[in-house]
Amino acid sequence: MTLINSILSMPRVYKRFISVSIDTLFIFVAFFSAFLTRLADASFLDTSEYSQVLIALWISTILLFTKVGLYRAILRYLSVHALLTILTSCLVSALLLVVFGYYWDVFIPRSIPIIYGTYLVLLCGGTRLFVRLIVSQRNNKQKMRVIIYGAGDSGRQLVNLLRQGNELHPVAFIDDEKRLFKTVVNGLTVFNSKNLSFLVSKMDASKILLAMPSATRSQRKAIIDSLVDLPVEVKSIPHFEEILNGSAAIDQLRDVPIEDLLGRDCVPAKPELLDANIKNKVVMVTGAGGSIGSELCRQIVQQSPKSLVLFELSEFALYQIDKELSELVAAQGLNVKIIPLLGSVQRLNLLKAVLKSFKVQTLYHAAAYKHVPLVEYNVVEGVRNNVFGTYYTALAAIEAEVESFVLISTDKAVRPTNVMGTTKRMAELTLQSLSAENIKTRFCMVRFGNVLGSSGSVIPLFKRQIAEGDHVTITHPDIIRYFMTIPEAAQLVIQAGAMGKGGDVFVLDMGEPVKIVDLATNLIKLSGLEVKSADNPYGDIEIKFTGLRPGEKLFEELLIGDDVGKTAHERIMTANESFLPYSEYEKILQKLDKACHSFDHQQIREILLEVPAGFNPTDEIGDLVWNVTL
C-alpha cells in the first residue's frame, strides 16, 4: 500500500511515463509470447527484420494508445468505455502486426496476431483493472459504508456516482420487489427489506440512502417507519420532479423530507380552479414576503396573471421575493409584470390608492402576525395588524371594486385561547359581516393548520437542536398539531378562493394530527442518534419539556360547529358559521379602535371576550408594556 500511495501522489507526467514504460514491456512480452505459444521457439526473432517489425509495432501502438487518450484516463475511475477503448486499440495493434510483417516480408503465422492481441488485451486491460481494484479497495476502507434502498434506475445511478466519490461506499441494495431478491445489480446484491436489521449489522453500515424519487409519500412513510428504529442515519435523494427539471442532482443527499414522515400525498390540482381568479388578471398579495405569501406568489406567477402586486411591510422580505420572482419570470419567459410595493395594511389610504391605481381584480390577504406568544406580548399591534389590517384592506377592496378577496386564516381561530387566534377569528367575522351587505367584492376565507417550513414551524428548530447535539425542546408531551406543506396549502388556498360565492369559510383537510413528541423522536432516530431518557441514559439527544407557552393549546381544531359541507375539491370543505350584522360589528370595531389608541388593555380584553369569537383565555394579559406600567 505504501508503494501505491507514493505512485498515486506522483505528478501526472511521472504517472504517464510509468504507464508508457509498462505498456512498452507488455508489447514486447505479448510479441514474444505469441510466437512461443504458437511455435515453441522464438530464437529466430533476433534477426533485423523481426526487430524492425517489433520496433514499428511498439512505436505505432504507443502512439495509438496516446491518440485514443489512454494515458489521460485516471485508473481509479476506469470505466467500461475505457476498457472497450483498450480492446479496440489492441485489436488495431494486432492488425498492424500483420501489416508490418507483410511490409518486411517476415514469416508470421496467421494465428500469431490473434494470440498477440489476446495477450496485449489481458496485460494492458487486466493490469489497469487490477490497479483500479487495489485503489478502489484502498479508498473504500476510508469511506463510510452505506446501504441503498431501491435497486431501480435511480439506485443504480447513485451507486456509480458514489463509487467515484470519496465519502460513501455502497455495500448492498434493499428492495421490496421480489423478483430482484438475491440478484446482483451493479456488483451489489439485492436483499429483502425484511432482513434489513441483520444486514445493517453484518455490513457494518452507517447510513441508509433512500433512492426512490418517484415513490408516493405514503409509500415513503411506510419505508421510513421501518427504518426509524435502526441504528443508522437515513438520507434521501431529491424527489423525481427536482431531478427531471434539473434543480437537483441525484447524488445531492439530504435529510428525509419532513413531509415524508407525515405520509400525506398531494391531490392533483384542478386547473380550472387555479386559473379562475388569476389568469389574465391583476392579482395582489399582502404579506407577499412571508412563508405563505411568498409561496402564493410563486404559484400565482405560473398561472399567467396580467400582473402581480407584491405588498409587503418588510423591505428585506420584499426584496427577496421580488428578486426571486423576477428571475423566475425571466428564466421561463413569462409575460407577467411584477410590482413590488412597500406598505402596511394598517394604512387605509395607501391600500385604496394601490388597489385603484393598478386595478386589482383578485386579492390574497396573507399579511398577519401569526406567532402566538409574540402577539400575547404585543397585544395592541396584534389587534391593529390582524383585525384592523384586514378591515382596512377589505374596505379598500370594496371601494376599488376588487372582484375576489381571499383571507388566509388559521385553525387557531377556532375556540381561541390566545389573542392571535381571536384576532384571526375577528378578521373572519369582518369579512362575513361585510359580505352580507350586498357588495360586489366576493369575500371568502381559508382556514388551515400549521405549514411545514414556515417562519414559525418547529421543524427547523428541531433540526438545529439535533445538529447542535444537546437537547430538543417541546412544550408538552401530549401536544398535537395538524401539518401541511406550504406548496400544498398555497395551491389549495387558490382553488378554494375560486369557489367562493361570498362570505364562505373554507376549511382545508389537514389529514391526521401529529404528536409533536413522536415527530421529534423520529427526527432524532433518522439522524442516526438515540433519544436520551431514563430508560436509555446513554442516548444522544434528550427531549426536554418546557411547558405550554402563553395562549398555547394542546390541540387545534378546524371547525367551530359540526355544520360542514363538501366542495368540488376533496381536500376543501366549507363551514357554515354564525356572524354579526355589519352595523353591530362596526360598533365593536370602533370601541376596539379607541381601546387600542389609549392602550387600555383591560378594555381590549373585555371586548375580545364579548365578541362572538369564542375567546377563552388561559392566561392573564401578557402585553409586556402593560405589565411593566402596572
Which residues, other chains included, contact 54 with Cβ-Cβ below 8 Å and sequence gap of 6+? 28, 31, 45
Neighbouring-strand partners of residue 340? 310
Q: Pairing mode, if any, of strands 531-532 and 541-545?
A: parallel
Nearest partner of 365 among 338, 346, 381, judged by Cα: 346
CB 221 within 8 A of CB 214: no
> For the residues of 239-291, what is the DSSP string, one character each?
PHHHHHTTSS-TT--EEPPHHHHHT-PPPPP-HHHHHHTTTTSEEEEETTTSH
Q: Which three cell numbers stand for residue 595?
A: 381601546
Count CA within 13 A, CB hemisphere, residue 34. 25
- Cα angle vertex 396, ends 395, 400, to 5°? 120
- Cα angle vertex 518, ends 552, 535, to 5°? 110
Which one of 143, 235, 281, 412 is the catalytic residue? Answer: 412
Neighbouring-strand partners of residue 169? 145
- The secondary structure of residue 176, as a DSSP letter, is S
CB 219 within 8 A of CB 212: yes
Give, to the nearest 10 degrees, the angle between helix 516-526 and helix 217-227.
70
Give, to the nearest 10 degrees, the angle between helix 80-103 and helix 48-67.
150
Which residue type, as a one-letter code, is found at position 339?
A: I
Distance, in Å, from the CA atom of 272 to the CA atom of 300, rounded to the nearest integer, reads 13
Neighbouring-strand partners of residue 364? 285, 406
Distance, in Å, from the CA atom of 356 to the CA atom of 144, rounded to the nearest integer, reads 62
Q: Which three cell numbers stand for residue 302?
A: 405560473
> For the residues of 509-549, what is the DSSP string, one character each?
---S-EEHHHHHHHHHHHBT--EE-SS-TT-SEEEEE--PP
**Could you give the C-alpha distances from 543 to 273, 312, 479, 555, in angstroms and in order?**
44, 37, 14, 20
Phi, psi of 544 (to 5 degrees): -110, 135
Q: Which three cell numbers stand for residue 159?
A: 451507486
If phi > 0 it is left, if psi is from -120 to 50 it is alpha, else beta; for residue 287 that is left
Q: Which three cell numbers stand for residue 26?
A: 507488455
Can 412 be counted among the known catalytic residues?
Answer: yes
CB 395 within 8 A of CB 365: no
Q: Which three cell numbers stand for residue 452?
A: 411545514
- The secondary structure of residue 183, as a DSSP letter, is -
DSSP-derived 3-state class of residue 51: helix
Distance, in Å, from the CA atom of 622 to the CA atom of 102, rounded to the nearest integer, reads 102
Catalytic residues: 412
